[in-house]
C-alpha cells in the first residue's frame, strides 16, 4: 500500500509529531509498503535531506495557520496515487484541505497528537475562545468525516471528548512508540561524554545524572524538575541534572536562577538540542530519565529512554504512565514539585541491584508496547481493512476508543 502523510513540518525542533512521523515512514519499506510525506516546509530545507522517503515540500507558508494555495490542487492531482491519507495535527489549514480534496475519494485519518487535551483550554482561555469558531466551522467536520481519529492511549481518547462541543468521530487507539537505537551503547556513551566533559569523571566514566530530553517549555515541567532536584541534593551529593533540548522560549535563565538560589548551579547543565548518536549517548550515559510534564499525550522520549533500558520518572499527566508502571519501569507522581520530588526520592532510594532490575523491565516494556514498527503495521492494517470493505465516508462513528 502507498500512504500519504501530511504534516506542517518535518523539522525535528518542532517536537514529537515530526520526529514520530520520520520513524513511521522509515519503517514502511520493511513491511512491503510505501510512505510519502506532504509538508509545508521550503523545498530546500536542509533537514529534509535526512528523510529516507519521498517528501513533497510545497512551502514555505507565511502564517502559523499554514495556508497554501498550492495544497488543495496538489491533493486533487495526486490523490489517485495513494491508498489512504493521514493528517498529523489539528488547528491548521491542512485538515480543511484534506477534507475538501480527499473526502469522498480516498479514506483519510487524523492523528491528533494530543492537541485535543483539555489542559490547553484550562491554561489559555483566550486561545480556547479563538478556537471555538474554527472548531464549529471546520475542525469538527474534518474529524467527523475522517474514517478514524487516531489516539495513542485510552486516556488521550477519553480526554479529547472534554475539549470542545459538539464532538462526534470514530476514535481508534493505535500502537505508538519509537525506534530503538542500533549502535553500540558503550561507544555512544563515550562519544557523548567526550562531547560534554563536565559530565565525565577523571577516569572517563559518567558522573551520575538525571536526563531531561525534550523541548525546554513550561508545559514540560522543567521548573518542577529543578526545584525537586534542589531538594534531593543533600541525599545525593554526587548527582547532576542535564537538560537537553531546544529552548525557544528562553527559559534557561529562569531555571538557572532557581539552581543558583539553591547553590547547585554547578550540577545543572543545559546542553542544547542533541540528535542522532549524541542523543542515544545521552540516554546510555544517564542513570534515569525524567519528564514531569503537565500534559503529554505520549512522550516519544519516554519510549526512547525505555528502549535504552532506562527507567523513567514521569508525571501522571503523561498519558501512558499506567502501562509503564504496570510493567515496573517507572515511578510516577503528580505534576507538582512535591510529586516530582517523590519520584526522585524513590529512585535514589534504590540500591544498584534494584536499579539494574528496573532497567531490564524498562527494555521489556519498550519491546512489548512501544516499538515503532507496530505503528506502521497498524496504519497499513487499518487502510487494508477499509479497502477490503469498500467502506464509504464515515457518517455514524462510534464514540468509544478501540485498541488494535
SS3 253: helix
Among the listed residues 313, 315, 298, the one whose alpha carbon sits nearest the alpha carbon of residue 372: 298
Q: State the Cα torsion 183-193-371-52 to the nearest 10°.
A: -60
User: Taken in order 16, 285, 373, 322, is the CA torsion positive or negative?
Assistant: negative
pLDDT score, position 396:
38
Q: Give the end-to-end CA distance of the chain in Å, rounded to a whole number.
A: 19
pLDDT score, position 392:
46
Among the listed residues 110, 90, 2, the one whose alpha carbon sits nearest the alpha carbon of residue 54: 2
pLDDT score, position 390:
67
Structural domains in the chain, CATH included, are 2-176+372-389 (3.40.50.2000), 185-369 (3.40.50.2000)
Strands 54-57 and 84-88: unpaired
Angstrom distance (rounded) from CA 126 to CA 348: 42
pLDDT score, position 360:
98
Question: Whole-model pTM above 0.85?
Answer: yes
DSSP codes joined into one string, 291-334: E--S-BSS-HHHHHHHHTT--EEEETTBTTHHHHHHTT-EEEE-
CB within 8 Å of 261: residues ≥ 6 apart: none
pLDDT score, position 397:
39
- Count CA atoms within 13 Å of residue 218 on its CB side: 7
In a structure prediction context, what are the per-residue pLDDT tens digits for the chain, which is 404 residues long?
999 999 999 998 887 889 889 989 988 998 999 999 999 999 999 999 989 899 999 999 988 899 999 999 999 999 999 999 999 999 999 999 999 999 999 999 999 999 999 999 999 999 999 999 999 999 999 999 999 999 999 999 999 999 999 999 999 999 888 888 989 999 999 999 999 999 999 888 899 999 999 999 999 999 999 999 999 988 888 999 999 999 999 999 999 999 999 999 999 999 999 999 999 999 999 999 999 999 998 999 999 999 999 999 999 999 999 999 999 999 999 999 999 999 999 999 999 999 999 999 999 999 999 988 888 888 999 999 999 886 544 433 333 334 33
The rounded radius of gyration (Å) of the Cα atoms in the chain is 22
Amino acid at each position: 500500500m502507498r500512504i500519504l502523510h501530511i504534516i506542517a513540518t518535518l523539522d525535528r525542533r518542532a517536537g514529537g509529531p515530526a520526529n514520530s512521523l520520520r520513524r513511521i515512514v522509515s519503517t514502511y519499506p520493511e513491511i512491503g509498503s510505501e510512505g510519502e510525506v506532504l509538508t509545508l516546509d521550503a523545498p530546500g530545507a536542509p533537514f529534509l535531506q535526512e528523510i529516507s522517503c519521498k517528501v513533497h515540500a510545497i512551502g514555505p507558508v507565511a502564517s502559523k495557520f499554514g495556508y497554501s494555495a498550492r495544497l488543495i490542487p496538489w491533493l486533487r492531482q495526486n490523490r489517485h496515487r495513494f491508498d489512504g491519507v493521514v493528517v498529523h495535527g489539528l488547528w491548521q489549514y491542512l485538515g480543511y484541505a484534506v477534507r475538501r480534496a480527499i473526502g469522498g475519494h480516498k479514506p483519510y485519518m487524523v492523528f491528533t497528537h494530543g492537541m485535543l487535551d483539555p489542559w490547553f483550554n484550562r491554561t489559555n482561555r483566550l486561545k480556547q475562545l479563538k478556537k471555538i469558531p474554527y472548531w464549529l466551522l471546520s475542525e469538527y467536520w474534518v474529524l467527523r468525516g475522517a474514517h478514524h481519529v487516531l489516539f495513542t492511549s485510552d486516556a488521550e481518547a477519553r480526554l479529547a471528548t472534554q475539549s470542545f462541543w459538539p464532538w462526534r468521530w470514530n476514535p481508534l487507539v493505535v500502537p505508538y512508540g519509537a525506534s530503538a537505537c542500533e549502535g553500540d551503547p558503550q561507544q555512544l556513551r563515550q562519544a557523548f561524554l567526550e562531547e560534554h566533559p563536565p559530565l565525565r569523571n577523571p577516569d572517563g566514566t559518567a558522573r551520575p545524572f538525571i536526563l531531561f530530553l525534550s523541548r525546554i517549555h513550561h508545559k514540560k515541567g522543567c521548573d518542577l524538575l529543578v526545584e525537586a532536584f534542589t531538594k534531593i541534593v543533600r541525599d545525593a551529593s554526587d548527582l547532576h541534572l542535564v537538560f537537553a533540548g531546544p529552548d525557544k522560549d528562553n527559559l534557561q535563565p529562569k531555571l538557572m536562577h532557581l539552581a543558583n538560589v539553591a547553590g547547585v548551579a554547578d550540577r545543572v547543565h543545559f546542553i542544547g538540542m542533541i540528535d542522532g548518536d549524541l542523543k542515544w549517548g545521552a540516554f546510555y550515559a544517564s542513570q534515569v530519565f525524567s519528564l514531569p510534564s503537565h500534559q503529554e499525550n505520549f512522550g516519544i522520549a519516554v519510549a526512547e529512554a525505555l528502549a535504552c533500558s532506562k527507567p523513567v520518572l514521569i508525571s501522571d499527566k503523561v498519558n501512558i504512565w499506567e502501562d509503564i508502571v504496570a510493567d515496573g519501569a517507572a515511578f510516577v507522581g503528580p505534576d507538582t514539585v512535591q510529586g516530582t520530588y517523590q519520584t526522585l526520592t524513590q529512585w535514589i532510594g534504590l540500591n544498584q541491584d534494584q536499579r539494574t532490575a528496573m532497567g531490564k523491565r524498562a527494555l521489556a516494556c519498550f519491546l512489548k508496547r512501544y516499538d515503532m514498527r507496530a505503528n506502521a503495521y497498524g496504519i497499513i492494517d487499518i487502510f487494508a481493512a477499509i479497502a477490503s470493505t469498500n467502506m464509504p465516508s464515515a457518517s455514524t462513528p462510534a464514540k468509544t476508543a478501540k485498541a488494535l
